[in-house]
Chain A
Amino acid sequence: MTSHVIIDRTAKYVTIICASASFVILGAIFVFTLREGLPAFQAIGVIDFLFGTEWRPGQEMFGILPMILGSLLVTLGAMILAIPIGIACAILLAEVASYRMRQIFRPAVELLVGIPSVVYGLVGLMLIVPAVRQIGGTGFSILAASIVLMAMVLPTVISISEDSLRAVPRGYKEAALAMGSTDWQWIWHVQLPAARSGIVAGIVLGMGRAIGETMAMIMVIGNSVVIPDSILSSARTLTGNIAVEIMYAAGIHRSALFSTGVILFLIILALNTVATFALKRGLKAHHVA
């Protein structure tokens, strides 16, 4: 009659092994990328790598500052556009829209998340790039990339902001309205500040996704390794750099691409930690209140 004890124990250990897989994989990613990237860090020097302005593999020059700027500017541009639109939409969903509207809206936002990045890139290529060309330059630009990236980041900002707004206790609203404030006054002066941590978390998570985006960026940003001097200038992102060159790179060049990967990994790690921290603070604030 102890067979079920054996089965129980086996089942438990099998699930433990499965759970360990995630830890093993994370460690492996860390180890492998670091191992491949270390030669480049050693040969080039971390400072020269991060702040070098020339990326010319043929001449053994590996500075990724142009790419850092490219990623940074595109992300900034995307967030500048996505934050107001996203928060406005979140307020709409949390406060203003009727139940039926929400039934339509939420699946729609989820749909946006599911559209492949290459489709965003394609639409960007066919619609946004020509439009930007009208303003100046080739059209393949930071501006075009920012617009495309905004569309990709919007759902993240909207859904997390909406959840944060909803989490603000209804009691605050009743108190505010009972004192004669308008809806907007309640939202602007009470609800948004109360939801601030969550909204910040949503923005930071959106930034993480923006920096990590690869294919859509390759399609609309031009991929030239220059220090961008205007939003109409072409550029290259950290992610694009890796994807475009990894297939044929060798030696130090290849190692440098892995180093870029390590840098990316660390940036995203930092962003995610900030976001989680902000989310937890937001939750604590409401418990105290």
Chain B
Amino acid sequence: MSPKTVQKIANVFVWGGGVITIAILLGIILYVLIQGVPSLSLEFLITPPKGGLGGEGGISTAIVGTLYLLGVTLAILLVPGIGAGIYLAEYARDNRFTRIIRYAVETLAGVPSIVFGLFGFALFVTSLHFNFSILSGALTLVCLLLPTLIRTTEEAVRTVPRSYREGALAMGASKWQTIRHVVLPAAMPGIITGIILCAGRIVEETACLYVTMGGSSAMPTSLFSGGRTLSLHLFYLAMETRAFDKAMATGAVLIIIIISVNALTNWLSQRYQRKIRGG
């Protein structure tokens, strides 16, 4: 076979790969949207699910559960995550302690969600007696997301040019003043992107919440109530009821949220790029 023929076959192979990938992406998104959007209505969003084999009702409690979980998780996550990121970028030196921390962050990043769920189940639900609750779910998620926020924060802070720090120090600012008033504000867009990334993962997470939040479809009223997120609700609909149309509709809501979050993140990073160039 001549090299030219091989090239032609290779082209088909390469383009084929691309086409299949796009087909998968579009296939999933379009399928869920087409199947799910017809069942979407305002009523669907604000009615609580009534359980049962028919999967009656809407997804209001799941929406509230998701938002509640989002708020609590982020509230607990922000300080440790950003603090650790600042430490790694600004204070850490090449010593044993730093290497241990980096190893811990990398390893944690690879642990599967269900193992976090087991941990959360053992510690928060059982040992600490928080039971199946938003709090247990949130604390478990914090452990899961810490590496993500630490990494994105560290990177965002490292990107801040050295000249800014030098300028501030040369004016007699202390190290913390430099970080707080110059470095952090400059790194803020990157940090916010990281936070939005974590928020996206909170919405999509299922496995670790499955074993820490319980499956209650009631409206969560406090930190210690059980509850469902949209993802969990979709799972229960698909596995315990015949209401596949409702499951699709929930899926559609999820997809719309994810696409919006992605678009927001992309738009934010483009704005950030422009701002550095002095727009």
Chain A residues within CB distance 8 Å of chain B: 4-5, 7-8, 11-12, 14-23, 25-26, 28-29, 32-33, 36, 84-93, 95-97, 105, 107-112, 114-123, 125-127, 151, 154, 158, 181-185, 187-188, 208-209, 211-215, 218-219, 239, 242-243, 246-247, 257-258, 261, 264-265, 268-269, 271-272, 276
Contact = CB atoms under 8 A, between A and B. Distances in A.
Interface string B1-36: 001101100110111111011101101110110010
Contact of B261 (A114, A265, A272): A114
B179 A114 contact: no
B87 A258 contact: no
12 contacts: A7-B176, A19-B92, A22-B147, A32-B119, A32-B122, A36-B118, A87-B17, A97-B18, A108-B25, A109-B25, A112-B25, A239-B114
A212 B179 contact: no
Given A22-B146, A211-B112, A264-B112, A184 B104 contact: no
A119 B18 CA distance: 22
Chain B at the A interface: SS class: helix
A22 B104 contact: yes
Contacts of B25: 108-109, 111-112
Contact of B204 (A8, A14, A16, A115): A115
B84 A15 contact: yes
A140 to B, nearest CB: 12
A32 B125 CA distance: 13
Nearest to A108: B25
A146 B233 CA distance: 24
A270 B247 CA distance: 37
Given A118-B206, A182-B4, A268 B258 contact: no
Contacts of A116: 203-206, 231, 234, 254, 258
Given A114-B262, A123-B28, A182-B7, A86 B146 contact: no
Contact of B255 (A90, A119, A264): A119
B83 interface: yes
B17 A88 contact: yes
B114 A212 contact: yes
- By Cβ-Cβ distance, the 8 closest A-B pairs, closest first, are A88-B17, A212-B112, A18-B83, A116-B204, A15-B87, A214-B207, A184-B10, A4-B174
